[in-house]
A and B are shown apart, each in its own frame.
Chain A
């Protein structure tokens, strides 16, 4: 008798190759779609639409090929990239090259993208831990806001940005612990609990902000109270000049927290998929009863994961207040926690996926910021809405469903 499991494994390599091929074609299609638009922008600045349209058509074809091979997510991505690329190219060709030159300074755009993406990356990865363990966390917004306030308060009181970060992490963790207690111990609805935490965070930070700083706002931060930038010298001497300048603009002077976020990305990916801890977190999020029966403490894992999510979201907030903006105002996160949630979903609950989504969303913010002055502010709002529209499309399943962990949002009752 041929065992089906064995038979399947024997067939596998050939199948995998084929799927991989289609997937790669799809990814290439996405790249081509981007290139189609890029051709019309500085430095190439093609004035004719012929070349971009041909490239865009190839991108769409690649996408269709991938879709036919059942690589729907990547395939639809390529089709969308092709269409959007062609449209972007058409718009750009009509625009004056002066305007294009002021907006599309690639090095600065990339740098700004990373700056906008960083708070999202922290919160999204935090959210990943929580949701992978089976606790829905829509309170990332509140935990981030808490981090932003306590970072600046801590830095201001102690005179040290490092202490500010630690205090922010503790505060975010404390709020997360409240969420964890209600979601895990009391088995309250996790959406309701998350909503409550968002209210509470808004109220508590607002209350403290006004009773401590009043109408004057937070004092200006000294260098010792701000998270430092990391300057990489000599980047602009890398030949060719244009590339050197690009590198210098992009990564020559980024905040420490941005590099930490990138490090966190790798660490969290390894922890989640290459260590026993990650395996246990995922087991608890997929099938808590199964994890319980082999002796994993479901509550313990969930408490840990939710608390970590608060700590990380608070780090994102800390970067925002003492690394990026250098001041605090009420409700300063302004929905970034929800964009982080969107990035998490868009990235299919994976660290690199969430990072990619955060960068896409960050790029749209960076672009919005530069488009406004050149073209008028009504355009930037369209880019502000982009993350939410894309996420809506992602969960609607048009480009391959985003599927959450099986037990996400469900309280677990010990026997």
Chain B
């Protein structure tokens, strides 16, 4: 386990240079990284000055995380060099990066739930008594000191599993600081936070900045970037577009750089012609895996021929709501009515087969597809048990194939035929396969959760168009998306979910500001996107 080195010096030793000095503490020059079939980074330049927050902005798949993983020693660049305080360095592992004073807060926290805050923080650089025993007291003391200095309010002896997500993130930050990080990388830090927690995070980042820490802030949210960053670098398809100062930068300008075209996609659609109520929820309550109430009394209606969008920050009960409707989670209370009939407590199978609910799941690889199955087998995931796919328990594979062939043609699934393994298709084609399957079952109610997550523009456009077509076929569509654009452009009505409750209903003409305000519970004085 290598040499035992004592914990990093406490922050009092930190250089207290005036912020915004012009010498870059870190410079990336001409970083290029090729993955099979994808040029993830194409000669990207990036520099970081002491005590600044430098945002790295880009769409999903723009190459932000790859760049940072290279900086953090997890990937190796094919070309280019990294300079730390003007000297070229080479990191072959995260360990090298840590020793050079770089800390990273991953999007998925690297914390051990059954261990305490202090244990997680000191791991691998533990203080010891007589060189052998773990010095719990010293560890706790240092954690408490650091926590006080940066206003993190963490108690060293609490177990991670008893913390909130926001607190866990603070543990991650403290972990990096404890190791003496003066460069901190935050990978989409607000994606998992409630608005209140995001405000607190920004406070912490400003404190860190004052103490001389330089911060790289990865995000694809414009408003956040404009709120916290001093400079902003925009990546698009692996290439650096530009680096701009916050002063003078506008959301519109950044958006143009990010997506490379003038106007964000807005779909042309005829006005909705709502019919009967097909989906109705009455005071639905759902508990999450940990037994906490994630959905707190939601009532809503979706009519035939309309798309109702649910907007909200991640982790506000959207997933649990959808699982409650589709029978994948039990309701703690409330009723679910499909086409006027009570289906409360129905299993997933009942919801699919009897109630006529189609469900485009949030995560196509984890839930929507069996990647090892062929496309044909995947198309039958919900129908293998019905005629004509099977009879008295006996399958007719040639019928699978015929159906899959027609479906793949109709929904433009490319990259293979009915006998291709689903795992070999690209993300967009996988999603088309899932959407095709759900739509072809002719559901009365279609639940679409994040239907275009991680897809390229072409696939997004296709799927959006398709959802509108399905609406006009007379289906009731409930759309849940974390992308505000998507909700705004597709929905006929918009419901905003916040902490498990619906806090407002808006017409599709609502502005992002109005929605953003509601999505944060309306508690902040200023709308985040102002």
The reply to whether chain A is a binding partner of chain B is yes
Interface range on chain B (Cβ under 8 Å from partner): 35 or more
Contact present for B132 and A275 (CB under 8 Å): yes
Interface residue? A216 (CB, 8 A): no
- CB of B77, distance to nearest CB on chain A (Å): 14
Q: Given A4-B164, A4-B167: A415 and B74 within 8 A (CB)? A: yes
Question: Does B162 sit at the interface, judged by CB under 8 A?
Answer: yes
Is A286 a contact of B112 with CB atoms below 8 Å?
A: yes
Nearest-neighbor residue (CB-CB) of B75 within chain A: A415
Report Cα–Cα, A277/B133, bound state, in Å: 9
Within the complex, what minimum Cβ distance (angstroms) separates A350 from chain B? Answer: 13
Q: Contact string, A52-93, partner B, CB cutoff 8 A, digits 1/0?
A: 000000000000000000000000000000000000000000
Q: In whole Å, how far is B92's beta carbon from the nearest beta carbon of chain A?
A: 12
- Interface membership of B492, Cβ < 8 A: no
Q: Which one of A4, A9, A276, A290 lies within 8 Å of B157 (CB-CB)?
A: A9
- A290-B110 contact in complex given A279-B123, A279-B134, A296-B123, C-beta closer than 8 Å: yes
Contacts of A279 in B (CB 8 A): 115, 119, 123, 126, 134
Q: Does A340 touch B at the CB level, under 8 Å?
A: no
- Assess the B111–A5 pair: CB atoms within 8 A: no
Instruction: Give the Cβ gap from A97 to chain B, nearest Cβ, in Å.
Output: 51
Please tell me if the beta carbons of B106 and A293 are within 8 angstroms of each other in the complex. Answer: yes
Hey, what's the 0/1 contact readout for A282-294 against B, CB within 8 Å counting as 1?
Answer: 1100110111111
Judged by a CB distance under 8 angstroms, whether B4 is at the interface is yes
Alpha-carbon distance between A215 and B194 when the two chains are bound, in angstroms: 75
Q: Are B134 and A274 in contact (CB under 8 A)?
A: yes
Check A275 against B124 for contact (C-beta < 8 Å): no
What residues of chain B lie closer than 8 Å to A300, measured between beta carbons? 1
- A280 contacts the other chain (Cβ, under 8 Å)? yes
Query: How far, in whole Å, are A296 and B126 apart by their CA atoms in the complex?
Result: 12
What is the chain A residue whose CB lies nearest that of B94?
A: A293
Interface mask (A230-261 → B, CB under 8 Å = 1, otherwise 0): 00000000000000000000000000000000
B128 contacts the other chain (CB 8 A):
yes
Query: Is there an interface contact between B134 and A286, defined as CB atoms closer than 8 Å?
Result: no
Q: Is the CB of A5 within 8 A of B123?
A: no
Q: Tell me if B149 counts as interface (CB < 8 A to partner A).
A: no
A331 is an interface residue with CB less than 8 A from chain B: no
Interface size class of A (residues with CB under 8 A): 20 to 34
Cα-based distance from A296 to B125 in the complex (angstroms): 10
Within the complex, the shortest CB–CB distance from A415 to chain B, in Å, comes to 5
Given that A293-B94, A293-B106 are known contacts, is A6 also in contact with B111, CB under 8 Å in the complex?
Answer: no
Contacting pair A290 B112 (CB below 8 A): yes
Question: Chain B: which residue is nearest A286 at the CB level?
Answer: B112
Contact with B along A378-415 (1 / 0, CB 8 A): 00000000000000000000000000001000000001
B398 to chain A, nearest CB (A): 35
Beta-carbon nearest neighbor of B170 in chain A: A5
**Which residues on A sit within 8 Å (CB–CB) of B164?**
4
Quick one: given A293-B104, A294-B98, are A275 and B133 in contact (CB under 8 Å)? yes
Partner of B158, one of A5, A270, A406: A5
**Pick the contact of A291 from B124, B125, B157 — CB < 8 Å?**
B124
Interface residues of B (CB under 8 A from A): 1-2, 4, 69, 74-75, 93-95, 98-99, 104, 106, 110-115, 117, 119-120, 123-126, 128, 132-134, 153-155, 157-158, 162-164, 167, 175, 179
Interface of A toward B, CB cutoff 8 Å: 3-6, 8-9, 270, 274-280, 282-283, 286-287, 289-297, 300-301, 406, 415
User: Can you name 28 A-B residue pairings with CB atoms under 8 Å?
Assistant: A3-B155, A4-B164, A5-B154, A5-B162, A5-B167, A9-B157, A274-B134, A275-B134, A276-B4, A276-B128, A280-B1, A283-B112, A283-B115, A286-B112, A286-B113, A286-B114, A287-B111, A289-B110, A291-B123, A293-B94, A293-B106, A294-B98, A294-B123, A294-B124, A294-B125, A296-B124, A297-B2, A301-B1
